[in-house]
Homo-oligomer: A and B are copies of this chain.
Amino acid sequence: METSCHDALLFTAEHPLRLRSGATMAEVSVRYETYGTLNAERTNAVFICHALTGDAHAAGRRPGDKRPGWWDTLIGPGKPIDTDVWFVVCPNLLGGCQGTTGPSSTNPATGEPYGLDFPLLAMSDFVTVHRRLGEHLGIERWAALVGGSLGGMQVLEWILTHPSEVDNAIVIAASSRLTAQNIAFSAVGRQAIMRDPEFRDGAFQAQGTSPDKGLSVARMMAHITYLSEDGFQSKFGREAQSGELGHNFGVDFAVESYLEHQGNSFLSRFDALSYLYLTRVMDYFDPFATPDATAALAADPAKVLVVSFDTDWRFSTEHSRRIVRHLEGARVPTSFREISSPWGHDSFLLTIDDYHRTISAFMERAAA
C-alpha cells in the first residue's frame, strides 16, 4: 500500500497554539501520513491516534522500509480499517520526536533545542493540534477515531470534549485514570532517564550528548509491563540465549537478550525528553474527575467501542470497564469486548483473530 507523508505548519506566531496550561507555542509543525482516498463528500475520514512510542507511520512501507508501519496489520486494503473504504490519517504527537514539534525541536525564541523549556502538555493539547490538522485537511467530521493505549486515551478525551465532530470511536487497551502502580512504573522510567548524568538537566541535545543508558533502562522496564507473565514464559522461559547457561552477569538468559535488544534499538528512534513529556501526560490524565465530564458526549453521542485484553496488566480490563461504566452512565452507545490473548498489553499491536473481527465489524457498521 502506498503511504503519503506530509509535514504541515499548523500553528504560527500569528496563530499560536494555546495549551491547556495557558502557555502558547508560536510554531508547531505536524508530520502525518495518509492512506486511501478522501471521498468527495469528505465523510470517510478515519483518525488514528498512536501510542507512547508510536509515530505517523502506521501502515504500508516507505521506500527502503524493511518493516511496514506499526499498525499495518489493522490498516490497509481489505484489512479491519479498510483503506479501500476509508481515508486514514495518522499524525505524530505534539511532544513527540518523529516529525512533529517536540522538546528536541528548535525553540524559535532561542534558536536552541527546547529541552525542558518545552511546555508541559495535557491530553487536550493533543486534541487541539489534531482538530487543527482536520481543519487543514478540510475534514469537519471524522467517521471514526481509533487509538490504542495512550492513543485510546486521546480518543476518549476527544469524544468527551468535541463529540459533534465524531461519529464513531474505538478505545483499545486504554485507561481513564492511571493507578498508583501505573504511575510508579512511569516514574521509575523517568528517574532512570533523569538520573543519567548525560541528561544534563534536559539540555543534552544542545550539549551534544544523550541519556542513552537511562532511556534504554526505561524502555527495558516498560517492556516487562507490555507482555503478560505467561507471554514471557512461553516466549522465553528459562532458556539460555546460546546453548547452555553460562553463569555470568552478561546476557545469559534469552529474556535478557530480548530486553537488551528492545532497550538498545529504541535509542535510534526515540528521544528521552519525548519519553518524559508523553508519559507525564498519561499520569495526569483523569477526564472523569471533571464535573459533567460526559455532558457534551451525552448530548451528542458518538458510537463507542471499548476493547481490552484479558492478560493486559499494564491497563487491565478493569481500566476499560471504568470507561464503559462512565459512558453507559451517560447513555452513550457503548460496545465493550474483552479479547482473550496471551500477549498482554502488546496485544493491541498484534494480529489476534477475535480482536480484528471485532474492529472489522464495528468499522463495517460505521460504513453502513
Please give, as numbers and ranges, the residues of chain B lying within 8 Å of A283 by CB-CB distance: 253
Residues of B within 8 A of A280 (CB): 249
Q: Which residues of B contact A286 (CB under 8 A)?
A: 238
User: In the complex this chain forms, how many copies of it are found?
Assistant: 2
Measured CB to CB, the closest approach of chain B to A315, in angstroms, equals 12
Query: In the complex, which residues of chain B have a beta carbon less than 8 angstroms from the beta carbon of A194?
Result: 249
Q: Which residues of B contact A232 (CB under 8 A)?
A: 179-181, 184
Residue of B nearest to A178 (CB): B238
How does the 8 Å CB contact mask read for A207-246 relative to B, with 1 for contact and 0 for none? 0000001101100110010010100110111100000010
Given the known inter-chain contacts A249-B280, A255-B183, A284-B247, please indicate yes or no for A217 contacting B235, CB distance below 8 A. no
- For the complex, what is the distance from the CA of A263 to the CA of B187, rounded to whole Å? 12
Q: Which residues of B contact A236 (CB under 8 A)?
A: 180
Report if A248 contacts B (CB, 8 A).
Answer: yes
20 residue pairs from A and B, CB less than 8 Å apart: A120-B247, A179-B229, A179-B232, A179-B233, A181-B224, A181-B233, A183-B253, A183-B255, A183-B256, A184-B224, A184-B232, A187-B220, A190-B249, A195-B213, A195-B214, A195-B217, A217-B217, A238-B286, A247-B284, A249-B276
Check A188–B247 contact: CB distance below 8 A.
no
A121 closest partner in B (C-beta): B247
Residues 277-311 of A, flagged 1 when their CB comes within 8 A of B and 0 if not, give 00010011010000000000000000000000000
Contact of A255 among B187, B191, B217, B263 (CB under 8 A): B187
Q: A181 touches which one: B188, B229, B248 (CB < 8 A)?
A: B229
Given contact pairs A120-B249, A180-B238, A180-B255, enumerate 6 new A-B contacts (beta carbons under 8 Å): A179-B229, A183-B255, A187-B255, A195-B213, A214-B217, A247-B284
**A residues 66-116 with Cβ under 8 Å of B?**
116
- Shortest CB distance A195–B (Å): 4
Give the CA-CA distance A282 to B4 in the complex, in Å: 51
Evaluate contact between B120 and A248: CB separation under 8 angstroms. Answer: yes
> In the docked arrangement, what's the CA distance between A177 and B238, Å?
9
Which B residues are in CB contact (< 8 Å) with A324?
none
Set of chain B residues within 8 Å of A216, measured between Cβ atoms: 191, 195
CA distance A343 to B253 in the complex (A): 30
- B-contact bits for A6-25, CB 8 A (1 contact / 0 none): 00000000000000010000
| Partner among B187, B188, B256 whose Cβ is within 8 Å of the Cβ of A187 | B256
Asked whether, in the complex, the Cβ of B184 is within 8 Å of the Cβ of A259, the reply is: yes
A192 at the interface (CB under 8 A from B): yes
Q: Is A185 in the interface zone, CB < 8 Å from B?
A: yes
A66 to chain B, nearest CB (A): 26
- Judge whether A188 and B221 touch: CB under 8 Å: yes
Report the bound CA distance from A190 to B286 in whole Å: 34
